[in-house]
Structure 1
Amino acid sequence: MPRRRGAASAIGIAAGAVGLIALTIGAATAATAVFFARKVVTPPERREEDVRIARVDLAAGEITLLASDETRMRGRYGLWFDRDTGHARLGDVIDDGEREVRRPIESVDFGRLDRATRGRMDGYYHLGPWELDAPYENVVVDTELGPAPAWLIPAADASARWVIQVHGRGATRPETLRAVQPARDAGWNSLLITYRNDGEAPESEDRKYGLGGTEWVDVVAATRFAVEHGAEEIVLMGWSMGGAIALQAVLRSAEVRERLVGVMLDSPAIDWTDILRFQGTLNRMPPELGDLVVRVLGGPLGAGLTGIAAPIDVLELDPVARADEFDVPMLLMHSVDDGFVPIDGSRRFAAARPDLIEFEVFEGPRHTKLWNAEPERWTGLIRSWLERRDSLAPATFGDEAEIVG
């Protein structure tokens, strides 16, 4: 009975909050804003299978997909199918027709691809560190919520330099495997971490994302682990929301800054207001919806509406507004054709600190798929940037606010 009364109370609070918002912006718009606010902070239980499979010819080693922005992407990708019970790897486009796209099948790792009708493509490509030509360890990072699993992949030679990899929203640590080899080539260890509510690390009480405002604490714990195991110089690398998490760790933790010598960002979530506006337009909603979602997340009734433990002040998460507080070099990579996180936030961040930020603009790749489309360029950027760490100084990038490839 106490639990039922508590649930009823929470529902009542949420309903009342929606009613208050509806008085000022309209019932339909209010409901939509609340829906999107919940969606952005709730870890997905299942990823949408948005790729239609037309034909599979295992004998010829080819697959035909219905044409879309995703299936037309250049490069190599993983393909999950049958609700993530099957996985294959696809090569670059062979034939790009008006209605169908043909790609080579590089491998079928598990599952019956010949029976699949739908799937989803991702940029991970690698399933785990066991696929890399390098030793690795399964390790545990002690966080305030409990033990969080991580992969430690050491450099070829003993090194006190560590790159801590922070994956993005709705992703898992295999997303960051693509950066391991260039880091090893440059003489850096790699620690691929998990963080709260990502499906592997311990859950927070509300089981919701904080958009970087809560997860950064787990990066502090990872930094502590690295230092305890010999790290003297640390670079944080964040992907998508992982970029937001990494930047919040830099801004909020003296412990992180003590050993920090650089930050690398792949398709980072810089400006959440801008991202939410963009997502609204993708869903055929007015751009103003993003501003309403920001109000829901940050308002005093945000917890009742979304289930978050505390309101999220999106403006406080904007690194551009606090750009003068950063003091380490950064490598920032983003695509103008990202399709999920607009590049505008990265442009503003790079323009705010051209003395620190080397900004590499890609054209064509979609969100966090820069390696897939241009592996040599992307790998070379990371390797050379890490190799130059001894010589990198703020003045190095003074005249290079944007480098277009």
Structure 2
Amino acid sequence: MSTVASDSPVPGTPGAPSPARRRRRRRVRALIAAAVAIMVLLCAVVGGIGWYFAGVATQVDHSDEYPLTVADVANGTVTLPRETSTERPGTWALAWKGGRALLGPVVSRDGDHVVRKVASVTQGTLTKGTHANIDHWVWGDDPKKSLGLDFQNVTYQSKLGPMPAWLVPGGPTQGTSTKGTWVIGVHGRNADKLETMRAMRAVHALGLPMLSIAYRNDVGAPPSPDRKNHLGDTEWNEVVSAMGYARAHGATGVVLYGWSMGGAMVMTALRKDPSFVRGVVLDSPVMDWNATLDKQGSARSLPPFLTDVAKHVLQWRIGIDLSDYDQRRYAPKLRTPVLLYTAKDDGTVANGPAFTFARTAPPGMVTHVKADGGHTEAWNVDPAAYERALTTFLKTVG
């Protein structure tokens, strides 16, 4: 009996996809393309926001703003909108384009306005409707015109060329000497030598010369190659150059005195060249750029992840390592006495790192003065208390 095997079935040729399957494939491809486009767009938006805020941080800007409108001027008083800055006690100036007045105490206030005494009008004419601002630098001219202190316009050599500075020689106890310990004043970001003038009388009264310096990108100073602010990461070189100028002109040591970003600069200069530094004074200093940029991002309602992106962009754009500006890392090894002023209502710089720095430094190395007021306004709120602490410290290290 024979058996005939049946032929195996020949596989059929696959047919074309059904219309429904083709539609599904097109939808999937479209969804993938849309998702990729959205991701690219989000990355561009996030990167753009990061680029913008990094640009804000590095922008060089010396323009003036006058957000207040004078409501009235009468009988030796000025009426201003009621704000924290306009009703705060202490020593302040009212500045406007082409003019300046020293303000006295508040004499009255209501829900919308505050009335202050005008101690003197030092420049221009103050009239109703003038656009002005509260200036915590107080003085707007050189040390001779503003404070009656003799000074010299000098230049010190830096890597970028000659930098301008004011040299106020030693005062009553040393005549006009430039010998001994010098104080080197270093203003903050986008500020000016004028910021340092609030300390000059106290320094001068002790007979210590004071060198208030301009640095790269200041008005009248050489610009940086990229014309950007580097948050102190390159600007500290000018502090070291100023120390060299002081040494060459009779200084036997220096006290570095930094306001705001100037504080970050002098702390870096201290780490680079500590041998000539007798002491450091810090007024509302940046003691950690990461924390300060976080604070400023929060004030602009920037989500934390966008702030982080901005910080990464910032580090890439100007070549800074922000972690190098966390002074808490160096506090345990501090060997130079520091006088530290922090302002209770500082809306610009994060205070927490300064408190930690003071707490973790070796015992007795940091004298921490906690003051009222806003950023770099400890002197304005209570000049006498500020100068007592400064005078005591300088007598110790000068």
Measured against the shorter chain, the TM-score band is 0.7 to 0.9
Aligned equivalent of 2:123, options 86, 110, 113: 110
Work out whether residues 70 and 128 of structure 2, in 8 Å CA contact, stay in contact via their aligned partners in 1: no
- What pairs up with 1:148-187 in 2 under 5 angstroms? 148-156=163-171, 157=174, 158=177, 159-187=179-207
Aligned equivalent of 2:371, options 347, 356, 362: 362
Aligned equivalent of 2:71, options 38, 51, 54: 54
> Which whole-Å deviations, capped at 9, do the CAs of 1:90-109 have from their partners, x for residues lacking one?
22322233211111122223
- Aligned residue number for residue 34 of structure 1: 51
Higher alpha-carbon Rg: 2
Q: Structure 1 residue 243: deviation in Å? A: 0.4
Work out whether residues 333 and 362 of structure 2, in 8 Å CA contact, stay in contact via their aligned partners in 1: no
Distance change (3 Å), C-alpha of 1:283 and 1:51:
farther
- Aligned residue number for residue 267 of structure 2: 247
Q: Is residue 228 of structure 1 aligned with residue 236 of structure 2? A: no
2: CA distance, partners of 1:281 / 1:241: 19
- Aligned residue number for residue 196 of structure 1: 216
- What pairs up with 1:293-308 in 2 under 5 angstroms? 293-299=310-316, 302=317
> Which whole-Å deviations, capped at 9, do the CAs of 1:165-192 have from their partners, x for residues lacking one?
0001121001111111211222311111
Q: Structure 1 residue 290: deviation in Å? A: 3.1
- Aligned residue number for residue 318 of structure 1: 326
Work out whether residues 278 and 290 of structure 1, in 8 Å CA contact, stay in contact via their aligned partners in 2: no
- Aligned residue number for residue 140 of structure 1: 155
2: CA distance, partners of 1:97 / 1:287: 39
> Which whole-Å deviations, capped at 9, do the CAs of 1:226-270 have from their partners, x for residues lacking one?
001110021000000110111111122x3xx22111100000011
1: CA distance, partners of 2:41 / 2:220: 41
Q: Structure 1 residue 113: deviation in Å? A: 2.2
- What pairs up with 1:80-91 in 2 under 5 angstroms? 80-82=95-97, 85-91=98-104
Distance change (3 Å), C-alpha of 1:52 and 1:277:
farther
1: CA distance, partners of 2:117 / 2:53: 37
TM-score (norm 2): 0.83
- Aligned residue number for residue 67 of structure 1: 82
Q: Is residue 129 of structure 1 aligned with residue 143 of structure 2? A: yes
Structure 2 unaligned regions, length at least 5:
1-36
2: CA distance, partners of 1:369 / 1:281: 22
Question: Quick one: which amino acid aligns to residue 267 of structure 1?
Answer: S
2: CA distance, partners of 1:106 / 1:276: 38
> Which whole-Å deviations, capped at 9, do the CAs of 1:139-158 have from their partners, x for residues lacking one?
11111111111111112203
Number of matched pairs: 354
Distance change (3 Å), C-alpha of 1:328 and 1:105:
same
Q: Which moved more, 1:163-172 or 1:30-39?
A: 30-39
2: CA distance, partners of 1:96 / 1:290: 39
1: CA distance, partners of 2:267 / 2:258: 8
2: CA distance, partners of 1:111 / 1:67: 24
Q: Which moved more, 1:209-218 or 1:280-289?
A: 280-289
Question: Quick one: which amino acid aligns to residue 205 of structure 1?
Answer: P
Aligned equivalent of 2:340, options 311, 326, 332: 332
2: CA distance, partners of 1:71 / 1:136: 32
Question: RMSD across aligned C-alpha pairs, in angstroms?
Answer: 2.1
2: CA distance, partners of 1:95 / 1:285: 38
2: CA distance, partners of 1:115 / 1:205: 44
- Aligned residue number for residue 374 of structure 1: 382
- Aligned residue number for residue 12 of structure 1: none
Distance change (3 Å), C-alpha of 1:116 and 1:242:
farther
Secondary structure at the aligned position of 1:359 is classed as: strand
1: CA distance, partners of 2:56 / 2:119: 34
- Aligned residue number for residue 275 of structure 1: 292
Q: Structure 1 residue 29: deviation in Å? A: 4.1
Secondary structure at the aligned position of 2:394 is classed as: helix
Question: Quick one: which amino acid aligns to residue 380 of structure 1?
Answer: R
Aligned equivalent of 2:393, options 371, 385, 391: 385
Work out whether residues 167 and 238 of structure 1, in 8 Å CA contact, stay in contact via their aligned partners in 2: yes
> Which whole-Å deviations, capped at 9, do the CAs of 1:112-146 have from their partners, x for residues lacking one?
32154322222111222012243211111111111
Distance change (3 Å), C-alpha of 1:56 and 1:281:
farther
Work out whether residues 75 and 93 of structure 1, in 8 Å CA contact, stay in contact via their aligned partners in 2: no
Q: Which moved more, 1:192-201 or 1:108-117?
A: 108-117
Structure 1 unaligned regions, length at least 5:
1-19, 303-309, 391-405
